[in-house]
């Protein structure tokens, strides 16, 4: 059984490459609004659930204790580009808890934002864990530990109090029990728990609307959503899909990318959650699929619809800037 | 009709991502030795046919006129990492024809070799067309034009004498007529002509053995092969699959990657050519598929087989160096 082709990559007169995958759109009551492909298969959501993983930061009182505003909370949900402003906010979050970048257990990598990476190289410095795209999330985890007076060492381990809190939030929102048979280790060393796309989409519908959540949790979810939508630059960065689509559509969409072709999101005003995965792990196809779902389910004004067009059919240009092709949703997705 | 899964990406206990595609292994007489998936579908070979595209450089006498050795000829077949030695040889090739980097029409991009890219940024310089992974091929094209006394401007265009020569060589070796309906523009602005995998594999079987070619062409193919196998560093670069597999197996394998998940190669001692494409364009899966084909069809000593293992089942490590999973050939490919 193979998933349908979601996105085609065109060059000249031919389809050069094809991306298969599955998509689920659910409402907060758990009703399936749209499903394509094997939406029951458990997939690792990777970074796409960072907004959910940030719930303990709010619910523990740590965000309040350390005086976090929208930027800090947005960065706790981010897969950021390692731009100077991202690094600065991550460092500030840690400082509030009396820590610095040394406490991060996510590992170091060069900023994915090319200009920032080159500027860092020009300065003669090497990247630190603060440049890791997950440093905001990890700073949040460390703050949860410190606010609770728990030893933060090993906070990335499944058995640490912080990860137990995070797992509890995910289990509660997805309605799925998360055991070791569904556990992988993420790029930043924390556990990633596999969940069916339907459960992820349902979780995001609840997260986006507050429906089906207790009043405290609904308030925490609303706080995280408000932070991401007020400061979308801190959720990803310059030129990035999540930042640009949230900037464009304001409070009407929450969108979060994950590694290996995952995307999750919420459309609060229509009460829907979206979860998708490209089989092959391609981000380019996950983005086109996400844009296609947003355009399909979110009522948009003429000018918004025009602006979303470049996410629906991105142009491919070569090193000389010549248009050589583009991406488009395939029939199964667009029909 | 969907192509079979060739390669699986495992994380924890689950298969996280899957890559589909097609593979053809042919002999020089055009007999199919192995075929998986839709091997009759025309695919853009992209950079995987660079060794074939270098034939006019030898056959025109340009390589001899300008005194090119193995490094220059290997670089004319390269998708290189933009390391200093690559840039130096590309510049030297152009100088022999009285040109410099300004004549290149491939566009500029930062070196794909990370340390070289960072060193370039540290130096305060910007990348030039010499850093483009195709600069050696383009230097070769320019040398063909200059040696023939043809105006080199616009040498990337399909109608230019150089590209007509290149197309002629590809048509002759693949046995496929290449028209505008099968033409795309490559990343470096030259035409890329779509050809079925069977025809590409057959072309590489001939290229690798000389069988079925005229004696002059067989000699030219042997010269190119000898150059690549003598200087595999100049075909790709540090840490790259093509360079490492050719270094490991010496004269017994010619392997050339192409963008969008294409790989071509020849196993001269067993008289075979290989061509494959991953549907989704993923290089990681194309490499595992290529390694699997080499291991299957090339007789290897025990130590060679051991050394090839890391290409057959690459390990995935996260930013902390922790092993989090790996790639492996799927059942359809390994059975």
Q: pLDDT, tens digit, for every residue of B212-228?
A: 999 999 999 999 999 99
Average pLDDT, chain A: 97
If you average pLDDT over residues A54-74, what whole number do you get?
98
Residue A200 has pLDDT above 90, yes or no: yes
Q: Which residue has the tokens 């779509």?
A: B194
ipTM over 0.85: yes
CB count in 10 Å sphere of residue B291: 23
Helix (H/G/I), strand (E/B), else coil: B323: strand
Chain A from 9 to 38: CB within 8 A of any B CB = 9, 11-14, 16-20
Inter-chain Cβ pairs, chain A and chain B, closer than 8 A: 161
Check residue B224 and give its pLDDT.
Answer: 98
**CB–CB of A114 and B118 under 8 A?**
no
- Where does the pLDDT of residue A278 fall: very low under 50, low under 70, confident under 90, or very high at 90 and above? very high
Q: Is A161 on the interface with B (CB under 8 A)?
A: no
pLDDT, one tens digit per residue, over B59-87 is 999 999 999 999 999 999 999 999 999 99
- Interval A74-91 mean pLDDT: 98
pLDDT of residue A102: 98
Cβ–Cβ below 8 Å for B280 and A20: yes
Q: Where are the beta strands (DSSP E) in chain B?
A: 5-11, 14-27, 32-36, 42-43, 183-185, 191-193, 195-196, 254-258, 262-267, 272-278, 315-317, 323-329
| Segment holding A216, helix H or strand E | helix A215-230
**Predicted pLDDT of residue A250:** 87
Contacts of A104 (CB under 8 A, 6+ apart): A94, A129, A130, A132, A135, A138, A139, A142
pLDDT at A173 over 80: yes
Given a cut of 80, whether residue A129 has pLDDT beyond it is: yes
Residue A180 binned pLDDT confidence (cut-offs 50, 70, 90): confident
A258 touches chain B (CB under 8 A): no
Write down the pLDDT at residue B2: 93
Query: What is chain B's mean pLDDT, rounded?
Result: 97
Distance CA B284, CA B5 (A): 14
pLDDT above 80: residue B1:
no
Taking the CB of residue B209, how many other CB atoms lie within 10 A of it?
23
Radius of gyration of chain A (CA): 19
Structure tokens at A47: 């970074």
Tell me the percentage of chain B whose pLDDT exceeds 90: 97
Residue A186 has pLDDT above 90, yes or no: yes
Whether A296 has its CB under 8 Å from any CB of chain B: the answer is no
| Section B1-19 average pLDDT | 96
Within 13 A of A310's CA, how many CA atoms are on the CB side? 11
pLDDT digits (tens, 9 = 90+) for A288-307: 999 999 999 999 999 999 99
* Residues A263-267, mean pLDDT to the nearest whole number: 98
Cβ burial, residue B51 (10 Å; 0-12/13-18/19+): buried
pLDDT for residue B250 is more than 90? no
Please check the confidence at residue A211 and state whether its pLDDT lies above 80.
yes
Q: Which residue from B68, B21, B29, B13 is spatially nearest to B292, judged by alpha carbons?
A: B21
* Residue A1 pLDDT greater than 80, yes or no: no
Confidence of residue B180 (pLDDT cuts 50, 70, 90): confident
A residues 123..152 contacting B (CB < 8 A): 124, 132
What chain A residue is nearest to B116 in terms of C-alpha separation? A121
pLDDT confidence of residue B335: 84
Partners of residue A265 on adjacent β-strands: A255, A274
B124 to chain A: closest CA residue: A122
- Measured in angstroms, the CA of B238 and the nearest CA of chain A are apart by 19
Write phi, then psi, for A334 (nearest 5 degrees).
Answer: -90, -15
Beta strands in B37-111 (DSSP E): 42-43
CB A265 within 8 A of CB A204: yes
Looking at residue B113, its pLDDT comes to 97
Phi-psi region of A12 (alpha: psi -120 to 50; beta: other; left: phi over 0): left
pLDDT, residue B251, reads: 85
Between residues 196 and 255 of chain A, which touch chain B (CB distance below 8 Å)?
none
Q: Per-residue pLDDT for A335 more than 90? A: no
Q: Cβ contact (<8 Å) for B324 and A14?
A: no
User: What's the pLDDT band for B174 if we cut at 50, 70, 90?
Assistant: very high
pLDDT for A289: 98
Angular region, B275: left φ>0, alpha ψ -120 to 50, beta rest? beta
Residues A305 and B201: their CA atoms lie apart, in Å, by 45
Q: Does A280 touch chain B (CB under 8 A)?
A: yes
Is the pTM value of this prediction over 0.90? yes
**pLDDT for position B61:** 98
In this structure, of A8-17, A90-99, A130-139, B119-128, the range with the lowest mean pLDDT score is: B119-128
Q: Are A157 and A109 in contact (CB under 8 A)?
A: no
A43: number of Cβ within 10 Å: 28
CA–CA separation, B7 and B1 (whole Å) = 18
pLDDT band for position A158 (cuts 50, 70, 90): very high
Q: pLDDT tens digit string along B154-172?
A: 999 999 999 999 999 999 9
Show the beta-strand stretches assigned E in chain A. Answer: 5-11, 14-27, 32-36, 42-43, 183-185, 191-193, 195-196, 254-258, 262-267, 272-278, 315-317, 323-329
Alpha carbon of B321: minimum distance to chain A alpha carbons (Å): 8
- Residue A222: burial class (beta carbons within 10 Å; 0-12, 13-18, 19+): middle
């Amino acid at each position: 059984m193979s998933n349908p082709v979601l996105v085609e990559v065109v060059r000249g007169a031919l389809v050069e490459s094809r991306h298969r995958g599955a998509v689920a759109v659910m409402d907060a009551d758990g009703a399936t609004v749209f499903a394509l492909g094997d939406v029951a298969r458990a997939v690792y959501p990777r970074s796409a659930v960072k907004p959910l993983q940030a719930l303990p930061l709010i619910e523990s009182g740590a965000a309040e204790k350390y005086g976090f505003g929208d930027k800090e909370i947005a960065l706790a949900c981010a897969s950021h580009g390692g731009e100077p402003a991202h690094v600065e906010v991550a460092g500030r979050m840690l400082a509030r808890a009396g820590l610095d970048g040394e406490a991060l257990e996510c590992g170091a990598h060069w900023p994915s934002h090319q200009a920032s990476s080159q500027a860092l190289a020009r300065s003669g410095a090497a990247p630190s864990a603060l440049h890791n795209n997950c440093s905001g999330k990890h700073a949040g985890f460390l703050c949860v530990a410190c606010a609770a007076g728990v030893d933060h060492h090993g906070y990335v381990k499944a058995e640490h109090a912080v990860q137990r809190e995070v797992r509890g939030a995910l289990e509660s929102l997805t309605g799925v029990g998360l055991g070791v048979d569904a556990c992988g280790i993420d790029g930043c060393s924390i556990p990633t728990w596999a969940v069916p796309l339907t459960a992820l989409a349902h979780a995001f519908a609840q997260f986006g609307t507050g429906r089906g959540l207790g009043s405290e949790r609904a308030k925490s979810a609303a706080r995280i959503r408000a932070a991401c939508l007020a400061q979308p630059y801190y959720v990803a960065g310059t030129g990035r899909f999540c930042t640009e689509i949230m900037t464009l559509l304001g409070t009407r969409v929450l969108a979060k990318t994950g590694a290996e072709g995952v995307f999750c999101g919420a459309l609060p005003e229509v009460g829907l959650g979206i979860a998708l995965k490209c089989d092959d792990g391609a981000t380019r196809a996950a983005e086109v699929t996400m844009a296609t779902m947003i355009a399909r389910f979110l009522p948009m004004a003429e000018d918004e619809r025009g602006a979303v067009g470049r996410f629906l059919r991105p142009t491919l240009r070569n090193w000389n800037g010549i248009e050589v092709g583009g991406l488009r949703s395939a029939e199964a997705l667009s029909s």
